[in-house]
Amino acid sequence: MIAVPGAFVAETCEREGERGREWIDALPGLVDRALARWELTPSGGVMHGAVGVVVPVERVDGTAAVLKVSFPHPGNVAEPKALAVWAGRGAVQLLENDAAAFAMVLERAGSESLRDLPDAVERVVVAGRLNRRLAVTAGEEFPSLKGVADEWAREIESRYGKVRTELPDRLVGRALESCRELAKDQPDLLVHGDMNFSNVLSGRREPWLVVDPKGWAGDPAYDAVNLLRDRWHTMPELAKTLPYQLAAFAEAAELEHERVVRWVQACAVKDTLWSAECGEQHGAGVSETVAAIA
């Protein structure tokens, strides 16, 4: 049986509570059954992300792959569906899938991620081109980004007025307007939904392949949010280069520049208000960087 990484155990149990503990206890057996079912041979140490473990394996024919087993959460349901739709086009290939067990066998990508590229503009250009290729017809099986925009609007309305920030009224009003207008106008296109730089890996078939999609139906411009969001608190200089990076992403993805900007600005306002209300208890404090980005 596999040894589940301690950090993954702690994160899962803290986030999911008793249900997470029960799943962690069952996880080695889930992995063993998947290995036997698909005749896979482990070929490396167990890795993990936020929601699942990844085991490097070899298939019967000797090809390298990975087995991924994820926590059974509604947010993880659409991942194999999105990978199946893309069928290797800009994404890792889905080789096997057990929806009930939240287990998949995937093409093995390289160890280098887009985060490793030193040039910030090159990173967003690569991501933008991938975004364009992934924007195929989604269909009814994927959740709509309308719900995301609606939820952002509710969060902004709920917190604004209760917390103190340096955000001017006009900026918060613009974010609310963006959320409401974006919610009304969502195309039926497949969106990765978590395209941060760590989720774009080097490949053999293609230079870069996306992994770990959330699988949304809606506006591809949304992907700009997560490209930059995970760096908001660690890269203060981002506020100075953000306009140029957003323009480069929009051009590479063939997207309307204003929609890209509105998604990112609305999210920055939402996150600034969250930080003002909840940051102290989470040890984060109010992020001046995110406020500057907004």
Q: What integer pLDDT is reported at residue 235 of this predicted model? A: 65
- In this structure, the number of other CB atoms found within 10 A of the CB of residue 208 comes to 20
Architecture in CATH of 114-293:
Alpha-Beta Complex (3.90)
Give every CB contact of residue 106 below 8 A, 6+ residues apart in sequence. Answer: 65, 66, 67, 68, 83, 92, 93, 94, 95, 211
Asked if 163 and 235 touch (Cβ cutoff 8 Å), the reply is no
DSSP code, position 205: S
Q: Helices 146-159 and 257-278 sit at what angle, rounded to 10 degrees?
A: 40
CA angle 42–29–63, rounded 5-degree value: 25
Q: What's the rounded Cα separation, in Å, for the pair 113 and 91? A: 13
Q: Where are the beta strands (DSSP E) in 144-282?
A: 190-191, 200-202, 208-210, 216-217
Q: What's the rounded Cα separation, in Å, for the pair 45 and 3? A: 9
Q: What's the rounded Cα separation, in Å, for the pair 211 and 254? A: 22
Residue 160 parent element (H or E): none
Give the distance, in angstroms, between the CA of residue 206 and the centroid of all CA atoms in the same chain. 20
Domain 6-107 of CATH type 1.10.1740: no
Q: What's the rounded Cα separation, in Å, for the pair 153 and 219? A: 17
Q: What's the rounded Cα separation, in Å, for the pair 114 and 223? A: 15
Q: Where are the domains positioned within the chain?
A: 6-107, 114-293
Could you say which of 61, 194, 219, 230 is catalytic? 194
Q: What integer pLDDT is reported at residue 253 of this predicted model? A: 98
Q: Quick check: is 194 catalytic?
A: yes
Q: What integer pLDDT is reported at residue 164 of this predicted model? A: 79
Query: For the chain (length 294 residues), average pLDDT per consecutive 10?
Result: 89 94 96 97 92 95 96 93 97 97 97 92 96 95 95 94 85 96 94 96 96 97 91 72 92 97 95 80 56 82
Give this prediction's pTM: 0.92
Q: What integer pLDDT is reported at residue 285 of this predicted model? A: 47
